[in-house]
Structure 1
Amino acid sequence: MPHETRQRPVPEPVPDALGAPRPARRLDRRAVYWWTTQNVLVVAPVLAALAALAPLPDAPSWLWPVFAVLCPLGVGYALLTPWYRYRVHRWEAGDAAVCAVSGWFVREWRVVPFTRIQTLDTKRGPLMQLFGLSAVTVTTASAAGPVTIAGLDDTLATEMVRDLTERVRALREDGT
């Protein structure tokens, strides 16, 4: 099922004081629906189990209050957090580095210079395939671990990995 998305013009990356680009590109909007589906698949069974157990005669008396508290929290989490993630998460593949910003309360800004890239991976789980999305993982020898940009259009992710592979290969430097 092909998805047509209107792409907004990508703003030019603005370098910071060290010359690394500030991430300006958003993830694909379909990532919101992917995250919402993931959240619903976790929250709905928990709420359904509580709703099924609460009316039983041997059910503890605290089950209804727990359900009453968890129901709005679970629904709010499932429906609102994907939009917040979409608003916060950004990425950029500049001239010399890949950058990504993510996080809930604490924002993490990761910069991976091309000379440090060891592997590039693309991942598509069943739900991601349903929404036409992919995740690109940029791995280095850093103790901080890989940088993963999840929620990219599948075609864009494939082009990005191909482009980054060519650019890293052209450097002819060993980043170790």
Structure 2
Amino acid sequence: MDDVVRLRPPRNRVERRAVTYWLTNELLTTLVPAVVLVVLAVLITPARPWLLLALGVELGIGLPYALVVPLWRYRVHRWEVTEDAVFTRTGWLWQEWRVAPMSRIQTVDTARGPLEQLFRLASVTVTTASAAGPLKIQGLDHELAAGLVERLTETTQANRGDAT
């Protein structure tokens, strides 16, 4: 058996519901400050032109970004777990391909924020001793994520390395 783990494109897409989750998250990030700017523009008459200008910039940049990024992320984000390693590909303009050999994995975590819970999604974080930081797989079905954490825990326990 070859001990070298090669970087290759991961095979699995994230859950399709992740697009709606990301869209909702981006729209909230854009629209909440926009509402604040509108309220301030109504309340502070002397600053109204500047506040409306800021609102225009916020919406002009934020709305196209909120509509494009979720679809792009779904197209790019991939993940895969084999007996030897965890593979991820993430990014938007700058794409990052990562691989973590099972023997290097230190911890496996799952997280579900309130919005992720609403969409029945979860994120899995695989931590290694790498200076590049943990591998994150976002936008997984919450049941798949729980099974993935269990599988990774079992595999790393069976494949003990020094994890450094």
- The TM-score, its normalising length taken from structure 2, stands at 0.87
Alignment check: 8 A CA contact 2:77 2:89 kept: yes
Give a deviation string over 1:72-92, Cα, whole Å, max 9, x none. 322212222111111111111
Separation (CA, whole Å) in 2 of partners of 1:77 and 1:166? 40
Find the residue that maps to 2:162 and give its secondary structure: coil
Q: Tell me which residue corresponds to 1:41.
A: 28
1:164 equivalent to 2:124? Answer no
Runs of 4+ in 1 over 4 A off after TM superposition: none
In structure 2, give the amino acid aligned to 1:73. I
Separation (CA, whole Å) in 2 of partners of 1:88 and 1:60? 41
In structure 2, give the amino acid aligned to 1:123. A
* 1:60 CA displacement: 5.0
1:106 equivalent to 2:94? Answer yes
Find the residue that maps to 2:130 and give its secondary structure: coil
Q: Tell me which residue corresponds to 1:137.
A: 125
Alignment check: 8 A CA contact 2:103 2:156 kept: yes
Give a deviation string over 1:75-118, Cα, whole Å, max 9, x none. 21222211111111111112310011111211111100000001
Separation (CA, whole Å) in 1 of partners of 2:8 and 2:84? 9
* 1:138 CA displacement: 0.4
Unpaired runs of 5+ in structure 1? 1-16
Give a deviation string over 1:120-150, Cα, whole Å, max 9, x none. 1111111111110111110111111111111
- The TM-score, its normalising length taken from structure 1, stands at 0.82
* 1:168 CA displacement: 1.4
Identity rate, percent: 48
Q: Tell me which residue corresponds to 1:9.
A: none
Unpaired runs of 5+ in structure 2? none
Counting only pairs closer than 5 Å after superposition, residues 29-108 of structure 1 correspond to structure 2 as 29-55=16-42, 56-59=44-47, 61-108=49-96
Q: Higher strand proportion, which one?
A: 2
User: Considering only aligned residues, what root-mean-square deviation do their CA atoms show, in Å?
Assistant: 1.9
In structure 2, give the amino acid aligned to 1:19. R
Find the residue that maps to 2:99 and give its secondary structure: strand
Alignment check: 8 A CA contact 1:89 1:100 kept: yes
Q: Higher helix proportion, which one?
A: 2
1:125 equivalent to 2:113? Answer yes
Find the residue that maps to 1:85 and give its secondary structure: helix
Pair 61,174 (structure 1): closer, same or farther in 2 beyond 3 Å? closer
In structure 2, give the amino acid aligned to 1:98. V
Give a deviation string over 1:41-80, Cα, whole Å, max 9, x none. 2211211122233355312533333333332322212222
In structure 1, give the amino acid aligned to 2:41. A
In structure 2, give the amino acid aligned to 1:45. V
Aligned residues: 160
Separation (CA, whole Å) in 1 of partners of 2:40 and 2:71? 32
* 1:22 CA displacement: 2.2
